[in-house]
Amino acid sequence: MLSFDAYYHDQSHLPMAERALVNYDHPDSLDSGLMAAHLRALRAGDVVGVPGYDFATYRRTGDVELVEPAELVLVEGILLFAFADLWELLDYRVFRNCPEPLRFERRLTRDITERGRTVASVKAQLAASVKPMHDRYVEPHAAAADFVTEHGDDLDDVTGRLMAELTLLAGAGAPIRP
């Protein structure tokens, strides 16, 4: 499994006050080139080193997680589909719709507990960048996904339907790749 969250650009070259001003909800904040290289390497049977990222300091940690190639590689990330080069490397695309109030609640909890943010700063960021970037770079891709599920759908049912789809793909001779 690869998480696109590991591929944020390192911002250690900026003073901390400037790092906090970067729009991390915009696709430019992510290193899609490195993710694409890693997906190609996994397809070629190579091990990749996924960078560690510290969201409190906006920098890569220097840690590397080794990921081995596999017949099925799951890749997750809310901005993943915004990149044509990544879109083309994915054989099957799943989109999970989540209502805006729940997205906000999850982000608020995460940013306060894991990233030391305040309620006011999370609300300001939501209005300034999170919602506009979601509307522009995330939501439009739902219609083009191969499989769409809604928040609240029974996860056992979703898993069963998804596995049936993937089994059909594999049975049809289509390789199941990242």
Q: Which domains, ranges and CATH numbers included, belong to the chain? A: 2-171 (3.40.50.300)
pLDDT in tens, 81-126: 999 999 999 999 999 999 999 989 998 998 888 888 899 988 998 8
Give me the mean pLDDT over the 19-33 stretch.
94
Q: Element (H or E) spanning 148, and its range?
A: strand 147-150
Take residue 160 and report the two structure tokens written for it: 């069963």
Per-residue pLDDT at 174: 54
Coil, helix or strand for 62? Answer: strand
Q: What is the mean pLDDT of the chain?
A: 91
Q: How far apart are CA 94 and CA 73, in angstroms?
A: 13
Q: Is the pLDDT of residue 136 over 90?
A: yes
Coil, helix or strand for 33? Answer: helix
Q: How far apart are CA 20 and CA 136, in angstroms?
A: 21
Per-residue pLDDT at 177: 47
pLDDT in tens, 147-170: 999 999 999 999 999 988 888 877
pLDDT in tens, 43-74: 999 999 999 999 889 999 999 999 999 988 99
**CA neighbor of 29 nearest in space, from 131, 137, 116:** 137
Per-residue pLDDT at 20: 85
